[in-house]
Amino acid sequence: MKFKKDIAIMIYGRLNSKRCPKKMIKKFCNSSLLEICIKKLLNSKIIPNSNIYCGVYEKPLINLIKKYPINIFKRSKTSAMSEGKPVSSYYEFWDKIPQKYVIFINACCPLISKKTIENFYKSYLKTKSNGLLSVIKKKNYIWSLKSKLLTEKPIKNSTMNTKFLKGYYETAHVLQAGKLSDIGKNVWMGSYRKKNDPELKEIPEEETFDIDYEWQFKVAEKLYSRK
């Protein structure tokens, strides 16, 4: 069991995306990906505004966030240019904010609903695990690069009909949570060696569309506009 005061909500943003430049502040349905994410959190009745942070480096991002009643964590240039390794350098706030835990939300997934965010938040409050990872349930046949079947085998005397599969979980890169002191040890969410380390939280697949490329930006904008 965790307490609300001990959980930070962190949005990371930067402008140097090579595949979709400046996507965080680029016009998206008369707003921006970053602002859409911030507003969802601010509209929540269970997430304290005082625990919401946005980690940014570039001035245009800092100036945008100043319009909202949330905390700004000023990232270093090293963190903003990093690809996430080592963990403690990328998530450099781990020993610089007062909370014990952090929930990351990916602002590049604009279809994620406030309800799903809140359900994830409530699950993290209740779990005994230090880490919580959002996942989606999939049913398919997956092979390794060495052509080894990694998932269930097709049922004997049947076609490869996926409705007969029990399925598996795939990472949804939208909500993740971990303990700040673990980040200092270059551990993010868990060991990945035993059950519930990290714990898994299933979320709706239709809310996990992640924007990495220009074509995904355009598709996401059309999907979002239909909501």
Residue 159 has a pLDDT of: 87
How much is the average pLDDT of 49-76?
A: 97
Residue 83 has a pLDDT of: 83
Amino acid identity, position 115:
K
* Residue 24: closest CA among 40, 8, 13: 13
pLDDT beyond 90 at 146: yes
Residue 109 has a pLDDT of: 98
* Residue 91: closest CA among 15, 183, 189, 176: 183
Strand partners, 132: 177, 199
Q: What is the pTM of this model?
A: 0.95
Return the percentage of the chain with pLDDT > 70, whole number.
Answer: 100
How much is the average pLDDT of 41-63?
A: 97
Range of the domain at 219: 4-225
Return the percentage of the chain with pLDDT > 90, whole number.
Answer: 90
- Read off the pLDDT of residues 160-197 as tens digits, 9 standing for 90 and up: 899 889 999 999 999 999 999 999 999 999 999 999 99
Sheet order of strands, 132-138 included: 71-74, 52-56, 7-12, 101-105, 168-179, 132-138, 199-202
Residue 82 has a pLDDT of: 87
**pLDDT band, residue 76 (cuts 50/70/90):** very high
Q: What is the mean pLDDT of the chain?
A: 96
3-class SS at 22?
coil
d(CA 196, CA 132): 8
d(CA 218, CA 147): 34
pLDDT beyond 90 at 64: yes
Residue 131 has a pLDDT of: 98
DSSP 153: P
If one counts the domains in the chain, the total is 1
CATH of the domain at 76: 3.90.550.10
- Rounded to a whole number, what is the distance in angstroms from the first to the last CA of the chain? 35
- Read off the pLDDT of residues 89-121 as tens digits, 9 standing for 90 and up: 999 999 999 999 999 999 999 999 999 999 999
**Burial (Cβ within 10 Å: 0-12, 13-18, ≥19) of residue 150:** exposed
Residue 116, phi-psi category: left (phi > 0), alpha (psi -120 to 50), beta (remainder)? alpha
Alpha-carbon dihedral sign for residues 83, 112, 15, 74: negative
Residue 20 has a pLDDT of: 94
Residue 207 has a pLDDT of: 98
Q: How many residues in total does the chain contain?
A: 227
Element at 115 (helix H, strand E):
helix 114-126
d(CA 93, CA 115): 27
Alpha-carbon dihedral sign for residues 213, 218, 222, 224: positive
pLDDT beyond 80 at 11: yes
Cα–chain center distance at 8:
14
Show the tokens assigned to 1.
């069991």
Residue 17 has a pLDDT of: 85
